Amino acid sequence: MAEYKQLHGTNIETVSSDPSNPINGQVWYNSTSQTIKGFTSTPAGTWATSNALNVARSSLSAQNIGIQTAALAVGGYGEPPPNNAYAGVESYNGSSWTEGADLNNGRSSSAGCGTQTAAITAGGDPFPGVGTKTETWNGSSWTEVNALNTSNKNQGMAGGTPAATQFGGGPPVRDNTESWNGTSWTEVADQNTGRQTIAGFGTATACLAVGGTTNPSDDTFTADVESWNGTAWTEGANLNTARTKISAQGAVYTAGFAAGGETKPNTGNALTESWNGTAWAEDGDLNVARSNFGGGGTITDGLVCGGGKHPGLADETEEWTSPTTSTVTFESS
Give per-residue pLDDT as tens, 18-67. Answer: 888 777 778 888 999 888 888 766 557 899 999 999 999 999 987 789 99
Domain limits of the chain?
A: 2-43+324-331, 46-321
CB 110 within 8 A of CB 130: yes
Pairs from 274-278 (Cβ < 8 Å, separation ≥ 24): 274/45, 274/299, 274/322, 274/323, 275/208, 275/250, 275/299, 276/21, 276/22, 276/23, 277/20, 277/21, 277/253, 278/21, 278/23, 278/237
Beta-bridge mates of residue 226: 209, 235
Find out whether 221 and 263 touch, Cβ atoms under 8 Å. Answer: yes
Percent of the chain's residues with pLDDT above 90: 75
Q: What is the pLDDT of residue 78?
A: 80
- Predicted local confidence at residue 4, as pLDDT: 43
Local structure of residue 172 (DSSP, 8 states):
T
Among candidates 13, 29, 135, 52, which has minimal Cα distance to 305?
Answer: 52
- The residues, ordered by sequence, that sit 6+ positions from 80 with a Cβ below 8 Å of its Cβ are none
Cβ burial of 215 (10 Å; 0-12, 13-18, 19+) is middle
Query: What does residue 217 show for φ and ψ, rounded to 5 degrees?
Result: -70, -30
> What's at 120, amino acid-wise?
I
Per CATH, the number for 46-321 is 2.120.10.80
User: Are 291 and 63 a contacting pair, CB within 8 Å?
Assistant: no
At residue 325, the pLDDT reads: 60
Of residues 333 and 133, more confidence is placed in: 133
